[in-house]
Amino acid sequence: MFKVRYSYLPQQFADPEPIFQELRRLVPTGDFTLGKPVAEFERRFADMIGVKHAIGVGSGTDALKLPLRALGIGHGDEVITAANTFIATVGAIAETGATPVLVDCDPDTFCMDVSKVEAAITPRTKAIMPVQITGEVVEMPALMAIAEKHGLPVVEDSCQGIFSECDGKRSGTWGAAGGFSLHPLKNLNVWGDAGVIVTNDDEMDRKLRLLRNHGMRNRDEIEILGHNSRLDSVQAVVGNWLIGQTHDITEKRIATGAYYDAGLCDIDGIRVPNRPANHKRVFHLYMVFAEDRDALYQYCLDQGVEAKVHYPIPLYQQDGLKHLGYAPGTFPVTDRHAADVISFPVDQHVEKWQLDYVIDTVRGFYAKR
Ligand SMILES: *Cc1c(COP(=O)(O)O)cnc(C)c1O
């Protein structure tokens, strides 16, 4: 039995009755696709992030794919993104028909190393997709300057980064659009797959609303070839019930991250990443660098700490992405991270005694070496 579990969903939804009551109110309305709960959630999400438009879609992956499609990106085009990301980023790019072009990550933030972006730009490059991985942020002003210089639109993968900021500006609001995931294990979550796109651009908003609903201008007219990727009304009900907690959840995660940093930073064998002062990170994941990582990981599991590794095999070395043609060693920082990083539970339900237990366990491991 784990003393410190990774998944907090049983605690978060220990009392589902209030949500069931909301769902009971939904059923008699028959408002199951793009009705009132979806419109309400979109308005609240846009207000919360501080953008003009929020468009609810079927998944975080679609929240990345549809903006690329709205920008006209497809076969023969290239989209630059981070080597160190979750497969969904690369998958979303590939689903448009475009080729994902990877850039290595920063040694501390885990995010795209902006100084390596320009070398990846070719005449076929049509967009840049920075990833706010772990809830850290890309150095966005520098990235935006490169994007503007080359006339490239930016679509942010903010799926792990809700409420994160760079220079006081929120993730998702920098470029043409930003995509968020409401997957059960994201900081703002629902009871299945869902995603949200934010944009300040009226035309982008219009295209995204067409693209998520079969390209239908109205019941009878199809303006463009689209997709079926609507935010489910049932999930919008869950989202409306939870969205008001986003601020508190974020603050709790940030406080927990700071507590881990303070407890782990003096352990010989652990390196806490430098945390740039102009970034507000929201700790979707809490990750540090560990010597002898695999042994520490196993020791943690044995001691009842459900640690994780995000991610043990870099994407470019995965069988499913061999066709991208990257040779082993192309992304040395990403490779090093795959060997060094370890993640500890950082959710809003983890308690202080559990954080102390994790810290003591890690300390105990290195004391024994
Ligand atoms: C979760 C996530 C996504 C989207 O995944 P879905 O499962 O489709 O919601 C995209 N990018 C990153 C970095 C993610 O963590």
Nearest CA to ligand 1 atom 5: 60
Q: Looking at residues 320-334, what average pLDDT do you find?
A: 97
Reported as a pLDDT band with limits 50, 70 and 90, residue 303 is very high
159 CA to centre of ligand 1 in angstroms: 5
**pLDDT over 90, % of the chain:** 99
Ranges of beta strands (E only) in the chain are 53-57, 78-82, 99-103, 125-129, 155-157, 165-166, 169-170, 177-181, 195-199, 270-271, 279-280, 286-290, 341-344
Q: Which helix (H) or strand (E) holds 359?
A: helix 352-368
Cα 82 to Cα 100: distance, rounded to the nearest angstrom: 9
Its sign, for the CA torsion 266, 5, 235, 59, is: positive
pLDDT at residue number 1: 81
232 CA to centre of ligand 1 in angstroms: 17
- Does any ligand 1 atom lie closer than 6 A to the CB of residue 231? no
CB 124 within 8 A of CB 100: no
Taking the model in full, what pTM does it have? 0.97
Q: Looking at residues 222-233, what average pLDDT do you find?
A: 97
Distance from the Cα of residue 317 to its chain's centroid: 21
pLDDT at residue number 201: 98
Three-class SS of 176-217: CEEEEECCCCCCCCCCCCCEEEEECCHHHHHHHHHHCECCEC
Give 205-213 contacts, CB < 8 A, sequence gap 24+.
205/52, 205/53, 205/55, 207/70, 208/55, 208/57, 208/66, 208/67, 208/70, 208/177, 209/55, 211/66, 211/69, 211/70, 212/55, 212/56, 212/57, 212/58, 212/62, 212/66, 213/34
Count of beta carbons in the 10 Å neighbourhood of residue 201: 17
Examine the pLDDT at 93 and tell me if it is beyond 90: yes
Reduced to 3 states (helix: H, G, I; strand: E, B; else coil), residue 78 is: strand
| Number of the ligand 1 atom closest to the C-alpha atom of 85 | 13
pLDDT at residue number 364: 98
Examine the pLDDT at 156 and tell me if it is beyond 90: yes
Query: Which residues are bridge partners to 100 per DSSP?
Result: 79
- Does any ligand 1 atom lie closer than 6 A to the CB of residue 158? no
Reported as a pLDDT band with limits 50, 70 and 90, residue 369 is confident
- Does any ligand 1 atom lie closer than 6 A to the CB of residue 256? no
Domains of the chain: 9-245 (3.40.640.10), 246-367 (3.90.1150.10)
Reduced to 3 states (helix: H, G, I; strand: E, B; else coil), residue 334 is: helix
| Number of the ligand 1 atom closest to the C-alpha atom of 194 | 9
Q: Looking at residues 309-319, what average pLDDT do you find?
A: 97
For the stretch 245-274, pLDDT in tens is: 999 999 999 999 999 999 999 999 999 999
Cα 199 to Cα 84: distance, rounded to the nearest angstrom: 25
pLDDT at residue number 105: 97
Question: What are 242's two structure tokens?
Answer: 């939870």
pLDDT at residue number 60: 98
Cα 347 to Cα 362: distance, rounded to the nearest angstrom: 19
- Does any ligand 1 atom lie closer than 6 A to the CB of residue 226? no
Reported as a pLDDT band with limits 50, 70 and 90, residue 144 is very high
Q: Looking at residues 18-35, what average pLDDT do you find?
A: 95
Mutate to test the pocket of ligand 1, among 62, 84, 138, 181 (most ligand atoms within 8 A of CB): 181
Three-class SS of 255-281: HHHHHHHHHHCCCCCEECCCCCCCEEC
CB 228 within 8 A of CB 214: yes
Mean pLDDT of the chain: 97
pLDDT at residue number 200: 98
Cα 67 to Cα 325: distance, rounded to the nearest angstrom: 26
